[in-house]
Structure 1
Amino acid sequence: MTFDQASLLILLLAMLVLFSLERFRIEVVAITGLLAGYALHLYSAEQVFSGFASPVVVTVVEILLIVQVLARAQLFGQLADFFVRARFSNTAVIATLSGAAGFISIFMNDIGAFSIALPATLRVSAALAIPKRQLIMPISFAALLGGIVSLIGTPANMLVSNAWTEASGTGFRLFDFAYVGLPVATVGIVLTAWLAPRLFPNEIDEALSAERASPPRRWITERRIPAGSSLIGAHLSDLPDRFALQPHTLVRNDKFVFGTPEKLVVEADDLLLAEADDTVFNGLQTSGTLLPQRRAKAAIADLDSVEAVVMPESTLVGSRLHSLEVFSSRDVTVCALSMRSPRIEGRFADLQLSIGDILVLEGEQKAIADALEECECLPLASQPPSRMSASSWQPFVIFAAGVVATAFELVTPDIAFAGVVLALALLNYLNIRQAMADLNWPIIIMLGAMIPIGSAVATTGTAQVIAAALGSMVSLAEPTTGVALVLFLSMLLTPFVNNATVAIVMSPIAVAFAATGHQSPSAYLIAVAAGASLDFLTPFGHHNNTLAMGIGSYRFSDFLKAGAPLTVVSYGLTLLLIYLFWL
């Protein structure tokens, strides 16, 4: 093994670990890795930023711009209205909503499809009294499954096609992925719709309603101890048993009170940073035991309260609550926070936001709406959709024209969707300047930065070294064995890092693997594309699952219960279909 190969392997391993830890922003990790690769002479100066000119990155940007227009059309709102009027079983509602989410995911990225489907899904949940836990996870899984059907369904497919182009001179066509992806998506959506009502039943007994069958969401907030509160005189160690509160920080006269929970005693006018179910905080507030901090500018009766989730593209990711000028400038207060991170340090204002966190905002309705639009967070209130005009269908027709041009190979995807973006801008459906500011830039930067690193896996011979090492463990005489291994490795990686990174790292290895066995790389690359998107076991492998966990109040074990059977079925079916159509 050469120095270049060893250094590249160490660099890739370090980046995969940093991606999986989620302690640093993905674009920062990607740019750091890109510059480290240049410092190690893995590619030339001319190649450092070549990834940003890749047709893959250009097409992803175009699709994200188009999604912003299609999302405003509120097509899913009409579907929600239909369910409210009709009388279907929970399984039928889940299957239809999931099928619709999976269908639109064929033509746009996974997160875009999930974001479009989510508001209508929440509305259906509220109107039909279907527990959110029966709907949110299936929608997330369906968006992932739909993405494996077409070239533009997910960036991973475009990256795999790019690797095939470099290896053979011709990439995959728009629906080449459908031979495997469509049956897998169909079976997966049906299986998930059947499992969800059984794994997350309507009622746990006759006394509990469907909504309360799901575990209450845990909130973190900083509250004031008023005079006369029954908390006064209690030790912090007693709060979990006596009041169902998990204390984190005690503040007195604007200073931290240090000591062990057994020795710290609550006093009047203290501020307590604590974690509990929403029902606990509501009960303590009603009884005057634990009160919100006083607001100076508005009466409580004049204020609205809205829950909103931090989206992957949000400008709030990585920010601390005290630095959120987008809210403070509009007199909007962050009252409580439901966090994914177990690290709770300092005061409430010091908490750092990550993808999937849910905020409780208090302020005037218009101020909250403006702030959420600016910072790109998604409100979880289930508002009925506005009426669609006849012209609202024009963006879908224009987008369909771009899809047809790509499907019939009249032009390449980047050219076709550039035409769609231009048409939408000329017809005033798209303000390009504003839309560019609203793009999910961390994902775009990560893609552009990782492409040269992925190319180095092939040019340095690292892929051949890995393929030879794996080939010494399994026989490559039968291509099914090699494809099964590549699919397994891709599915093994994707719960820990994003699917685009899996595609970038695994594609050159798959090509080298095929060359070692003297076989066509196409089947191996299809396995990489499918495996990179079959991410159902954890809430942190894909942003859709991260959002679903927060919005649906799922536990980690819920993803294992629902995702394990889907993963096993998807693996076996994918392998069978690759054997039938690509080997």
Structure 2
Amino acid sequence: MTFEQGLAFTILVATILMFALDKLRYDLVALLSLSAGVLAGLVPPDKAFHGFSDPVVVVVAAALVVSAGIERSGIIERLMKPLSALKSPDALIGTLVALVMVLSAFMKNIGALAIFIPLSVRLARAGGIPVSQILMPLSFASLLGGVMTLIGTSPNIIVSRVRLELTGKAFTMFDFTPVGVGICLAGIGFLTFAWRVLPRDRQGSSGDKGFRIEDYLAEVRIEAHSPLIGATVADLEQLFSGGAVTVAAIIRDQGHRYVPGGHWEFSESDVLVLEGDPMALKPLLDQAGLVLMGGGGLGSEDTTVMEAVVMPNSPLVGSSAVRSAMRRRHGMALLAISRGGRHMIERLRQTEFMAGDVLVVEGNGEALPGTLAQLGCLPLGQKAMPASGKSAWLPVGIAFAAMLSVAVGVMPVAPAFFLAAVAMVLLGCLPLRGAYEAIHWPIIILLGALIPISDSMKSTGASDLLAGWLALAASQVPVPMALGLVLLASMLLAPFLHHAATVLLMGPVAAGMAVKLGLAVDPFLMAVALGAASDFLTPIGHQCNTLVMGVGGYRFGDYWRLGLPLSVIVLVSGTLLILTFWPI
């Protein structure tokens, strides 16, 4: 091992550790890794920013804009209206899973899932199905659907770049389709029935008249005239709220927070942190003489209360109601927060928002949906359907034209989707501001920063050295097992790295291992892409899993219930399908 290779491995290990520890955002970790590469002399200064001009970055950004144009058209929601006729839970979930997969193949999976979440919540309520048993299958379906085409998921786009550098020819739009369709069929068969392993009791009884999310927190103050003065915690929980609301904390004595027992008595000006069903808040406020902290009373004729999910690219992530000036700047009040079934006791207005949080907010009835969209939040109420007409199909036509031009070889994928993104804006499918907001800039930063690091691993020979070690180990096992081990390694790395970073690391190494074993490169690249896209074990490895955590009330361990058997299915069927369609 040379000195340069040692430096490359040191930076690689440090980067992996920082990703795994999750103390810093992944885009900042990527920038630190690039900085270390430049300072160590592994990345030439004049090539430090070449990654940001790489076609992979252009494709990912453009695909996000195209997906946003399709999502904004509302055409998908309109086409899904007949689903309300499905009465069987298996039929409903199986159909939704299949539709999410198909949509995810042609637009970014996070966008496809975002379209289906409000629809699925309404259908689950109408069909008496707990929301917790329908959303995780849809999240996993969006990940599986993305593996069917080149643009469906970032790992496919990045692994195509690796192949281009190795062989001079990139993967085409539908090279991934035979393996992807097989994986999706296996996934549909599993998810259609396996949803039963998920918890039923996270969202209240299935007979609720409205969409209910437990473990909300709201912050209220006891006024001078309140009948609660002198009453106990047990009185509020049983007599006033009928068990629908519990007292999570009392804040008194100049801001000190206490977790009260049932015998604690209330005093004037106590601030209570209440936990429970937000629909029980209004009658409790009126009956018990309580005032919501942050202002704004419920029930005003020109205001409405709405639930919304904080999306991963929301500017609210890492901020709070106070720091974001939610009421002063955006004209809405934060009433409650739900966070994946977690018990939160901190002050509501100081709580930092996280991706996947479900917020209950109050604001002007007409302006609130637009304000939430501007803040990167997904409303869970009814969405307005677009007026019928040809314009609703225009974004679909633009996306189809881009895919067709790539499929028939008219132009490469990067310029095709760049032109499609520009057309979305010029033809009014998406405002310019909406196009910028659709791009998830942290992933763009991550890709642009890590591409030079990946290239430095190859230029120093570190990738070849690591590939040699793996080839030596793989030579002791049958070829199908070696392929399966590459798929498994990518699958295990993805939750701790980012799926894009996993491909940038594993792609060149797996290709080098195949060359040293005298095997075809393509099957191993396919295995890397499939493994990196198949993160079913944690809520943090992929944005789709994070997005449904709060709405479904999931806890970290819930993902293993459905994700572990699905991972085994993908590992076994994926290995066999790759060997079938990509001879080794």
User: Same fold, TM exceeding 0.5?
Assistant: yes
Superposition map of 1:262-277 within 5 A: 267-273=267-273, 275-276=275-276
**C-alpha contact (below 8 Å) 1:51/1:451 kept by paired residues:** yes
Q: Does 1:106 align with 2:105?
A: yes
Whole-Å Cα distance in 2 between the matches of residues 259 and 322 of structure 1?
22
Superposed CA RMSD: 3.3
Measured against aligned partners, the alpha-carbon deviations of 1:318-376 in whole angstroms (never above 9, x if no partner) come to 11221123543243111111235969686322211111111110121133223212212
Whole-Å Cα distance in 2 between the matches of residues 103 and 299 of structure 1?
41
Q: Does 1:220 align with 2:217?
A: yes
Q: Does 1:94 align with 2:93?
A: yes
Q: Quote how far apart the aligned CAs of 1:496 are.
A: 2.8
Whole-Å Cα distance in 2 between the matches of residues 519 and 231 of structure 1?
78
**C-alpha contact (below 8 Å) 1:160/1:525 kept by paired residues:** yes
Whole-Å Cα distance in 1 between the matches of residues 118 and 259 of structure 2?
44
Residue identity matched to 2:175:
D
**C-alpha contact (below 8 Å) 2:341/2:555 kept by paired residues:** no
SS at match of 2:268: coil
**C-alpha contact (below 8 Å) 1:338/1:357 kept by paired residues:** yes
SS at match of 1:333: strand
Whole-Å Cα distance in 1 between the matches of residues 158 and 346 of structure 2?
42
Q: Does 1:502 align with 2:502?
A: yes
Whole-Å Cα distance in 1 between the matches of residues 575 and 372 of structure 2?
43
Residue identity matched to 1:182:
V
Residue identity matched to 1:250:
I
Match of 1:528 in 2: 528
Q: Quote how far apart the aligned CAs of 1:381 are.
A: 0.8
Match of 2:313 in 1: 313
Whole-Å Cα distance in 2 between the matches of residues 348 and 4 of structure 1?
50
Match of 1:324 in 2: 324
Residue identity matched to 1:218:
D
101-110 vs 320-329, greater mean Cα deviation: 320-329
Residue identity matched to 2:432:
I
Whole-Å Cα distance in 2 between the matches of residues 410 and 570 of structure 1?
34
Superposition map of 1:279-428 within 5 A: 285=285, 287-288=287-288, 291-293=291-293, 295=295, 300=300, 302-325=302-325, 327-339=327-339, 347-383=347-383, 385-428=385-428
Match of 1:70 in 2: 70
Match of 2:184 in 1: 185
Q: Does 1:115 align with 2:108?
A: no
**C-alpha contact (below 8 Å) 1:151/1:173 kept by paired residues:** yes
Match of 1:513 in 2: 513
Residue identity matched to 2:539:
P
* TM-score computed with the length of structure 2 as normaliser: 0.89
Match of 1:29 in 2: 29
Residue identity matched to 2:19:
F
SS at match of 1:350: coil
Measured against aligned partners, the alpha-carbon deviations of 1:496-547 in whole angstroms (never above 9, x if no partner) come to 3331121111112112221221222211110000001111122221110111
Q: Quote how far apart the aligned CAs of 1:74 are.
A: 1.7
Measured against aligned partners, the alpha-carbon deviations of 1:90-111 in whole angstroms (never above 9, x if no partner) come to 2112122221111111112211
Whole-Å Cα distance in 1 between the matches of residues 58 and 175 of structure 2?
21
Residue identity matched to 2:251:
L
In structure 1, runs of 5+ residues without a counterpart are none
Q: 1:248 to 1:15 in 2, by over 3 A?
A: farther
**C-alpha contact (below 8 Å) 1:248/1:344 kept by paired residues:** no
SS at match of 2:151: coil
Q: 1:497 to 1:213 in 2, by over 3 A?
A: farther
Measured against aligned partners, the alpha-carbon deviations of 1:290-329 in whole angstroms (never above 9, x if no partner) come to 6523736997454311111111111111112211235432
In structure 2, runs of 5+ residues without a counterpart are none
**C-alpha contact (below 8 Å) 2:339/2:553 kept by paired residues:** no
Residue-pair matches, total:
576
SS at match of 2:557: helix
Give the share of equivalent positions with the same residue, in percent.
Answer: 32
Q: 1:20 to 1:109 in 2, by over 3 A?
A: farther
Q: 1:391 to 1:212 in 2, by over 3 A?
A: closer
407-416 vs 548-557, greater mean Cα deviation: 548-557
SS at match of 1:223: strand
* TM-score computed with the length of structure 1 as normaliser: 0.89
Whole-Å Cα distance in 2 between the matches of residues 33 and 578 of structure 1?
33
Match of 1:151 in 2: 150
Q: 1:324 to 1:578 in 2, by over 3 A?
A: same
Superposition map of 1:533-548 within 5 A: 533-548=533-548
Q: Quote how far apart the aligned CAs of 1:160 are.
A: 0.7
**C-alpha contact (below 8 Å) 1:216/1:553 kept by paired residues:** yes
Match of 2:11 in 1: 11
**C-alpha contact (below 8 Å) 1:537/1:564 kept by paired residues:** yes
Measured against aligned partners, the alpha-carbon deviations of 1:440-473 in whole angstroms (never above 9, x if no partner) come to 2122222211211222222222223333333444
Superposition map of 1:137-216 within 5 A: 137-197=136-196, 199=198, 208-210=205-207, 216=213
Whole-Å Cα distance in 2 between the matches of residues 123 and 130 of structure 1?
10
Whole-Å Cα distance in 2 between the matches of residues 467 and 218 of structure 1?
49
**C-alpha contact (below 8 Å) 2:113/2:139 kept by paired residues:** yes
